[in-house]
Amino acid sequence: NAGVTQTPKFRVLKTGQSMTLLCAQDMNHEYMYWYRQDPGMGLRLIHYSVGEGTTAKGEVPDGYNVSRLKKQNFLLGLESAAPSQTSVYFCASSQQDIWEKLFFGSGTQLSVL
């Protein structure tokens, strides 16, 4: 089992460029999440999904969009990247009935210049 896989692992963007981060899970989990991790600020929820075709805003959704077209995939998009979006991004998933335990991917280091 691969668990939660994130691609790419590293990316450098210029201000204003767009990109999509891909998260894939092979555990048949209903819930999927995107977090960003910044020094001294812990993990903050960007968007989440409670099932295929559904998405919802988290704590810091501005500047990001998401899609959950397939149950196993959760995409995070940056339409016009800003330096404030320089961060490490983590995808996570959880089972619907034991949703408290989160399974995390290994992260994407994004730098916006």
Partner 1 sequence: QQQVKQSPQSLIVQKGGISIINCAYENTAFDYFPWYQQFPGKGPALLIAIRPDVSEKKEGRFTISFNKSAKQFSLHIMDSQPGDSATYFCAASTTAGTYKYIFGTGTRLKVLA
Binding site for partner 1 (CB under 8 A): 4, 33, 35, 40-45, 48, 50, 56, 90, 92, 99-102, 104-107
Residue 85 or 94: the one with the smaller Cβ distance to partner 1 is 94
Where are the alpha helices (H) located in 16-91, listed in sequence order? none
Q: How far is the CB of 90 from partner 1 (least distance, A)?
A: 5
The residue count for the chain = 113
CA angle 4, 79, 24 (to 5 degrees): 10
What CA–CA distances, in Å, run from 32 to 23, 93, 96, 104? 9, 4, 10, 10
Residue 15 or 90: the one with the smaller Cβ distance to partner 1 is 90
Give the DSSP H/E element, type plus range, for residue 33.
strand 31-38
Residue 17 or 103: the one with the smaller Cβ distance to partner 1 is 103
Q: How far is the CB of 39 from partner 1 (least distance, A)?
A: 9
Residue 44 or 71: the one with the smaller Cβ distance to partner 1 is 44
Q: How far is the CB of 107 from partner 1 (least distance, A)?
A: 6
Q: How far is the CB of 88 from partner 1 (least distance, A)?
A: 9
Residues 49, 67: Cα–Cα separation, whole Å? 9
